Amino acid sequence: MTNLKKKLFAAVLLATTAMAVSAQPHTSVFGEPKTRAEVRADLELWKKAGLDKFWAGESTPDTFSREYRSAYAEYVRLRSGPEYNAEVQRQSGL
């Protein structure tokens, strides 16, 4: 294969690879964007679990303390339970 043919082959291969990559749908690593109601519901459950009290000052809370971990466990429970969907509906005005 001559040098010109190698360069032409490489250019065609590069172009087809670029077209194939750009043809695929773009997906975010973060998933689908959240609605305003979903964000507000999440914040409400975060407050309901008591996590807002740990972030009241300028310093970072002790996330390893028993109290913080207990509040965080409650937040996770609320966020993954039926309370989240109920709060989303409430925030949506439904």
What single DSSP character describes residue 93?
T
Q: Say which amino acid occupies 46.
A: W
Element (H, E) at 12: helix 3-23
d(CA 94, CA 37): 11
What is the band of 1 on the pLDDT scale with cuts at 50, 70, 90? low
Answer yes or no: is pLDDT of 44 > 90. yes
* 3-10 mean pLDDT: 72
Model pTM score: 0.66
Residue 28's pLDDT is 73
**For residues 76 and 27, which has the higher predicted lDDT (pLDDT)?**
76
Per-residue model confidence as pLDDT tens digits over 53-81: 999 888 899 999 999 999 999 999 999 99
Answer yes or no: is pLDDT of 42 > 80. yes
d(CA 78, CA 50): 12
